[in-house]
């Protein structure tokens, strides 16, 4: 499992490196041909991590995601936002949720719960926590690619 956490941390570091020097306008721009912006993609990987890892274990982490889930769930769009996201809060949550997952695992939080399993929108059957963590990294890697493409368009 530690190898999966290293992969996850590496992806999060790459996301941070990709977005760290962008302006708020660049975070919020939606270039032609894209449905979402950088802010949505960053928020989405945070919310998806909770949905792929914590929710199937019956663990709620609303404190780490204040007001985020509604904005970044699959099928949502910045076009539906009634307020702009707090970019600094997204950056902080990106770091905090990665560290929290690893700390929770080390502290045994997942030891006393059963991973109920799920089928992802991509059709992947996840039946164990390890599969959830692994698929989450795959998912974040896809969004890292999108974030990199968006960055290139908004620079």
Query: Which residues are CB-contacts of 47 (< 8 A; sequence separation ≥ 6)?
Result: 65, 68, 69, 72, 73
User: Quick one: pLDDT at residue 70?
Assistant: 83
> Average pLDDT of the chain?
93
Alpha-helical (H) ranges within the chain are 2-19, 24-28, 38-49, 69-72, 87-106, 129-154
**Is domain 2-154 annotated with CATH 3.40.50.300?**
no
Tokens standing for residue 129: 């926590």
Spatial contact of 150 and 41, defined as CB atoms under 8 Å apart: yes
The model scores a pTM over 0.85: yes
User: Quick one: pLDDT at residue 59?
Assistant: 87
DSSP state of 82: S
pLDDT greater than 70 at residue 42: yes
| pLDDT tens-place string over residues 51-68 | 999 999 998 776 556 667
């Amino acid at each position: 499992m530690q190898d999966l956490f290293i992969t996850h941390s590496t992806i999060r570091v790459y996301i941070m490196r990709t977005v760290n020097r962008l302006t708020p306008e660049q975070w919020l721009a939606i270039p032609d041909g894209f449905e979402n912006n950088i802010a949505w993609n960053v928020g989405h990987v945070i919310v998806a991590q909770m949905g792929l890892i914590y929710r199937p274990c019956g663990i709620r982490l609303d404190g780490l995601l204040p007001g985020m889930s509604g904005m970044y769930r699959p099928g949502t769009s910045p076009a539906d936002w009634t307020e702009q996201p707090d970019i600094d809060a997204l950056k902080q949550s990106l770091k905090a949720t990665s560290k929290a997952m690893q700390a929770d695992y080390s502290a045994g939080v997942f030891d006393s719960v059963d991973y109920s399993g799920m089928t992802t929108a991509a059709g992947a059957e996840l039946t164990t926590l390890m599969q959830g963590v692994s698929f989450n990294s795959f998912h974040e890697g896809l969004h890292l690619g999108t974030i990199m493409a968006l960055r290139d368009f908004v620079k």
